[in-house]
Every structure is written in structure tokens, then in C-alpha cells.
A = this chain, B = another copy of it.
Amino acid sequence: MTSSRQRLHLILDPEVALPGAQRFRFAQLMLILIGIGCTLVDSIPGIDHQLQMAVEMAIALVGLAFAFEYALRLWCAPDLPRLTWLNPAAARWHWALSPAGIVDLLAILPVTGALTWGMILPPDFAAVMVLLFMLKLSAHTPGARLIGRVIYNERRTLLVVMIMFGIVLIAAATLAHIAERADQPEIFGSIPKALWWAIVTLTTTGYGDVVPQTAFGRIIAGFVMISGIGVLALLAGILATGFSEEVKRRDFVRIWELVARVPLFSGIGAQAIADVVARLKARYFPPGAMVVRRGAPGDSMFFIAAGEVEVRLQPESVILSEGMFFGEMALLDRRPRSADIVTLTSCTMLVLAMPDFFQLAGQHPALAKAIEAEAARRRGDG
């Protein structure tokens, strides 16, 4: 029983890469999208009554599904590895009171309420539902945590840029107020009013509802627009750098775990293994996918981290399984691929692109020699 709870918990974890978890996440995403779509349709004033009945039925079904999901999450909460020392009831309370638990509860409350007390819903039902669904979606998207970590890592630098942004914003509003209040007292009559113009201009949105008319106001506007471009540029640089670093760190950890499954890499030292991990990319293939096509140019080699592939050679096929590699011959001999290679099961491959292959081979001759030995053995066979 514990085992089934643990398995269910893994499937419900938004960061797990198992097929079951991916299918669950896809279904959940679809349900949220259906829920949002129906709620949006429901919110249009004066829509057809029958259509309204249908979409409200759909919303209720989505709500029921989410209530079921909530129950499952509550049930399997205690088996979280990091909370194993708590008793089940305490662990369930712990989850129910965590941000994720509260968001999931909130997402089902309006529907449950509606089902219980009949279809008499508050007029803002649609807006509240959409916001709660959005909250649920951001709590369960795998990328949301990634973006959250990036913002957390760069919080100091982002704060600096935000303070700069605020300084430019308020200074611009004040100067524009001084320049324009005589000509346009209604929209530049006070600094808070001029702030609206300042943010619309500093982000280069430019609605055009508030436009400076005096020469001095326009010169200020010019500088504000250029500052806006500069702020955007700084933000772009900070977020882009932070994002790519965080993605690299996550990928390193993932590939580190997969590399352990390939015997070729087990004998090499710590420095080589770190170099190898930094250069490999994990790629997923469904069953029946053609990984390598005969006659195509060879631009990378593959290590099988999970699954099996079939090498379609003329006399008879060869099966390669977890821990084995292929595709090195086209790289070493600079020739096109000599056979089709097709996945038999769903596979996770570690791909080593040609530039990385040769740079690794140069830095770690032992590794190169092991790969060449295997290629020589295969050439003797084929």
C-alpha cells in the first residue's frame, strides 16, 4: 500500500519526468484550459441559454475532476520522502496548509459551492474562477518553479533595476507635470495623474491617450522613451543570463544521473565526467522513432540511458539496450550513416554533438580510445 501511495505521489509531482506523470500533467493542463475556456464563454453577457447550460455543466465536471485530484493529493501526501518522519495525518495537514494545498482547495471551492447550493452563483463567478484556475496552473507548471528560482537568484539585481525604474518614473512624471500642467491641466494637473503618462511612455507602450504638447514636455518624453529602452535592455540581460544559468544547472543534475547508467563513463575520472556531463544533452524518443537514417550525414553520437533500439543491418538486425552507444562510426570515419536505427521502446538518449565529440576526444584520450575500440569491433563484425 505504501508503495502505491509513493507511486501516485511521483505521478502527481510536477517536476518528475516519468511517462505517467507527463500524461497526468497533460490531462491536468487540458482540464484547466477547458475550464478557463468554458468560464470565459460563460462570462459573455447575453449568450445563448442552452450554450450557457452546457458550459456550466462542463465547468462543474472540471471542478469535480479537480476535487478528485485534491483528494488524491491529500491521500498520498504523507509518503513524501522528505516528510517521512511525520505521521500520515500530520503530513496531510502539512500539505493542506502549504501554498500548493491552499491553491488546489481554492480552485475547487466555487464549483463545490455552486453544486451544493444550486446554480445561483455570484455575478463575479467567472472572473474569480479564471483567477483561481490561473493560480492552480502556475502552481503546477514545471517551468513556474524554474522562473521563480531565477527571480529569487537575481532578486538583488532586479531590485536595483526596479528602484532605478521607479526613480526615472517619478522624476519623469514630476517634470512632465511641471511642463504640461498649464496646457493640459486635466491629464497633467497633478503628479499622480502624470504617473499614468510616465508608465505608458517608459514601457514604450504609447497608448496615445496622453501626449505632451509643449516643446519641453516632448524633450522629457524623448529622454523617458530612451530610458525605457535602456531599462528593458538591462532587464533583458539580467533575466536572460539568470535563466540560462538556471537551465544549465538543472540540466547538469539531470544528465549527471543518467550518465551513471552508461558503463563507458564509469571508469573515467571526476574531471572527465564533469566535462562529459556538461557536453551531453538528454533527448526523449517515442517508440518507433527513427533516430538515425541510413545515408544521412553523421553529426552526433548517442548513448542509451533508457530503452532499446534496433540497428537495421542488411543480413539481420541488432538490438542495443540501456548503457550501450551508437553513431560513433559516422563521426570517426566522416561517412554517412550506414544503417537505419529505430527505437523499440520509448527511449532516453544522451546525445553528443560532433564538435563536442572531438573536443572531448582531444581532452580525454582514454575515452576516445574506448569508443574507437568499440567502433573497430563493430567494423570487424559488419
Q: Which residues in A have some Cβ–Cβ distance to B below 8 Å?
A: 36, 39-41, 43-45, 80-85, 124, 126-127, 130-131, 134, 137-138, 141-144, 146-147, 156-157, 159-161, 163-165, 167, 170-171, 174-175, 177-178, 189-192, 196, 199-201, 203-209, 211, 218, 221-222, 225-226, 228-241, 243-244, 247-249, 252-253, 256-257, 260, 269-275, 277-278, 293-296, 299, 334, 336, 353-355, 358-359, 361-363, 365, 368
Q: Complex Cα distance A43/B178, Å?
A: 12
Q: Lowest 3 CB-CB distances: which A-B pairs, in order? A: A237-B240, A271-B362, A143-B160
Q: Complex Cα distance A224/B167, Å?
A: 19
Given A208-B206, A240-B237, verify A134-B294 contact (CB < 8 Å).
Answer: no
Please indicate the chain B residues that have their CB under 8 angstroms from the CB of A134 in the complex: 167, 170-171, 174
Q: Complex Cα distance A363/B362, Å?
A: 13
Contacting pair A36 B170 (CB below 8 A):
yes
Shortest CB-to-CB span from A56 to chain B, Å, is: 15
Please indicate the chain B residues that have their CB under 8 angstroms from the CB of A240 in the complex: 233-234, 236-238, 240-241
Shortest CB-to-CB span from A66 to chain B, Å, is: 17
Q: Complex Cα distance A256/B243, Å?
A: 25
Partner of A355, one of B126, B156, B237, B252: B252
Q: Which residue of B lies closest to A190 (CB)?
A: B44
Contacting pair A244 B241 (CB below 8 A):
yes
Contacting pair A222 B204 (CB below 8 A):
no
Contacting pair B249 A355 (CB below 8 A):
yes
Please indicate the chain B residues that have their CB under 8 angstroms from the CB of A203 in the complex: 204, 225-226, 228-229
Contacting pair B126 A191 (CB below 8 A):
yes
Partner of A143, one of B36, B147, B163, B275: B163
Partner of A208, one of B160, B174, B207: B207
Please indicate the chain B residues that have their CB under 8 angstroms from the CB of A146 in the complex: 160
Shortest CB-to-CB span from A267 to chain B, Å, is: 14
Please indicate the chain B residues that have their CB under 8 angstroms from the CB of A131 in the complex: 171, 174-175
Please indicate the chain B residues that have their CB under 8 angstroms from the CB of A252 in the complex: 354-355
